[in-house]
C-alpha cells in the first residue's frame, strides 16, 4: 500500500491497508548529525511528495473556484471550527507581559485532552486504531504551550496530519483542492486568530530575513495558484489596492494582507524577503524559489526538525522505493 502522493492518477478506490501496526509518533532527531537520517527518511520523501502534489493540484486555481467537497473534508472543517469556538470560550487573561498570553495554555490543555476524540470523528471505524498516531500531529500543529509560540514547524505538523490522513485513505486524490482551499485555509484562519488572541511569539523567527513570522506553505501553494495569471504579476502583491481586491481568491495575497494588518512601517523594511520576491519576473519562478527556500530554511534546519515526530505513517526508516 502506497499513498496516492507518488501516484497522481492513482485509482480512486484505495483498499484499506493490510493490518497496519499504528504507533504513537516520537522524536528521532536529537543531534544535528541526525539530520542526515531525516533527509533520507520515508517521512521526508512522503512529506515533500505531499506538498508538491498539492502544489500541482492548486496550480492556476482560485480559492473561490468549484471543487469537490467530500465528507471527510467537511468533518475536518468541523474539527477546525471546534478549535475556533474554544478560542472564543477562552479569552486572554490580564497579565503584565504583552506577548504570550497564558490563556493559550488553557486552550491547549483542552486540545491535548480532546485530540484523539476529534480525530476519531474524522476517520472511519475500521481505522480507529490510527487515531492516537494521527492525533499527535494535530496537537503539534497549533504551537507550543510552554513557550506560547508558533512557527513553521507547527505548520509542518498540520501538513503531516493531512498527509497521514491521505496515507490511511481517509483523504483521496480528488480531495486535493479541498485539502488546500477548504481545510488548510481554515487552519490558517484559526492559527491567525490564535496568534492575534494570545499574542503568540514567532517560533525560531529569522526576523526580517524570514519569509514570514509564522507561515510558509500558503506562500508556496499561493504562488502556484497565481501561475499564468493573465494580469497579476509578482510585483503587484506589494500594491495595497491589488491585495484588497484579490485576497479572497488567492492565498498568497491573504498572507500579505495579514502581515500588513499585523505590522507597521514600510513593507520593504518589515518584510524584506517578500519585498525581494516581488522583483522576481514570474509566479512559476517564485514558486520554484519558495520550494527551494522551504527545504533550506525549514526542512533542513535542525531547530525546526528536532521537534518532528515519526511513527508508522511517517517513518524515520530510509526510503524503500
Residue 89 lies in a domain: yes
31 shares its domain with 174: yes
Residue 288 lies in a domain: yes
Residue 91 domain flag? yes
pTM for the structure as a whole: 0.94
**Residue 216 forms part of a structural domain:** yes
Same domain flag for 157 and 306: yes
Question: Which pLDDT tens digit goes with each residue over 122-167?
Answer: 999 999 999 999 999 999 999 999 999 999 999 999 999 999 999 9
Q: Is residue 18 part of a domain?
A: no
Answer whether residue 36 is part of any domain. Answer: yes
Angle between helix 103-120 and 131-140 (nearest 10): 150
Confidence of residue 211 (pLDDT cuts 50, 70, 90): confident
Domain membership flag for residue 189: no
pLDDT at 8: 42
Total count of domains within the chain: 2
Residues paired with 202 in a beta bridge: 150
Q: What is the band of 320 on the pLDDT scale with cuts at 50, 70, 90?
A: confident
Query: 286 lies in which domain range?
Result: 207-295
My answer on whether 97 and 243 are in the same domain is no
- Give whole-number Cα distances, 22 to 18, 168, 316, in Å: 12, 11, 14
Residues 6+ apart with CB under 8 A from 12: 172, 173, 174
Q: How far apart are the C-alpha atoms of 22 and 127, rounded to whole Å? A: 10
Q: At CA 64, angle to CA 61 and CA 69, rounded to 5?
A: 90
- Which tens digits make up the pLDDT trace of 65-115? 999 999 999 999 999 999 999 999 999 999 999 999 999 999 999 999 999
pLDDT of residue 234 exceeding 80, the answer is: yes
Q: In this structure, are 285 and 306 located in the same domain?
A: no
Q: Are 22 and 129 in contact (CB under 8 A)?
A: yes
Within a domain: 21: no
* C-alpha to C-alpha distance for 107 and 89, rounded to whole angstroms: 9
Burial of 312 (0-12, 13-18, 19+ CB in 10 A): middle
Same domain, 277 and 306: no
Average pLDDT of the segment spanning 218-223:
98
User: Which residues are registered as beta bridge partners of 150?
Assistant: 202
- Which CATH number covers residue 237? 1.20.120.1150
Amino acid at each position: 500500500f502506497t499513498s496516492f502522493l507518488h501516484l497522481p492518477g492513482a485509482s480512486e478506490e484505495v483498499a484499506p491497508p493490510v493490518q497496519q501496526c499504528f504507533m504513537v509518533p516520537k522524536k528521532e532527531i536529537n543531534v544535528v548529525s541526525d539530520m542526515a537520517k531525516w533527509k533520507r527518511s520515508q517521512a521526508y520523501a512522503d512529506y515533500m511528495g505531499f506538498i508538491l502534489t498539492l502544489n500541482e493540484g492548486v496550480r492556476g486555481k482560485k480559492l473561490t473556484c468549484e471543487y469537490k467537497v467530500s465528507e471527510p473534508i467537511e468533518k475536518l472543517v468541523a474539527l477546525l471550527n471546534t478549535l475556533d469556538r474554544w478560542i472564543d470560550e477562552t479569552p486572554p487573561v490580564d497579565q503584565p507581559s504583552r506577548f504570550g498570553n497564558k490563556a493559550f495554555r488553557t486552550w491547549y490543555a483542552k486540545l491535548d485532552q480532546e485530540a484523539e476524540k476529534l480525530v476519531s470523528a474524522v476517520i472511519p471505524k475500521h481505522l480507529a486504531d490510527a487515531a492516537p498516531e494521527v492525533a499527535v500531529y494535530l496537537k503539534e500543529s497549533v504551537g507550543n504551550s510552554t513557550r506560547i509560540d508558533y512557527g513553521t514547524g507547527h505548520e509542518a505538523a498540520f501538513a503531516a496530519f493531512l498527509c497521514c490522513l491521505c496515507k490511511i485513505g481517509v483523504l483521496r486524490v480528488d480531495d486535493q483542492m479541498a485539502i488546500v482551499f477548504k481545510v488548510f485555509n481554515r487552519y490558517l484562519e484559526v492559527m491567525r486568530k490564535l496568534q492575534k488572541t494570545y499574542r503568540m511569539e514567532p517560533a525560531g523567527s529569522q526576523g526580517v530575513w524570514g519569509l514570514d513570522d509564522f507561515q510558509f506553505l500558503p506562500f508556496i501553494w499561493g504562488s502556484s495558484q497565481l501561475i499564468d495569471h493573465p494580469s497579476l504579476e509578482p510585483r503587484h502583491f506589494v500594491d495595497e489596492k491589488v491585495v484588497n481586491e484579490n485576497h479572497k481568491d488567492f492565498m498568497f495575497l491573504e498572507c500579505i494582507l495579514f502581515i500588513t494588518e499585523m505590522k507597521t512601517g514600510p513593507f520593504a523594511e518589515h518584510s524584506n524577503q517578500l519585498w525581494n520576491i516581488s522583483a522576481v519576473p514570474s509566479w512559476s519562478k517564485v514558486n520554484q524559489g519558495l520550494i527551494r527556500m522551504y527545504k533550506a530554511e525549514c526542512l533542513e534546519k535542525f531547530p525546526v526538525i528536532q521537534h518532528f515526530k515519526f511513527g508508522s505513517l511517517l517513518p524515520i526508516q530510509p526510503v524503500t522505493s
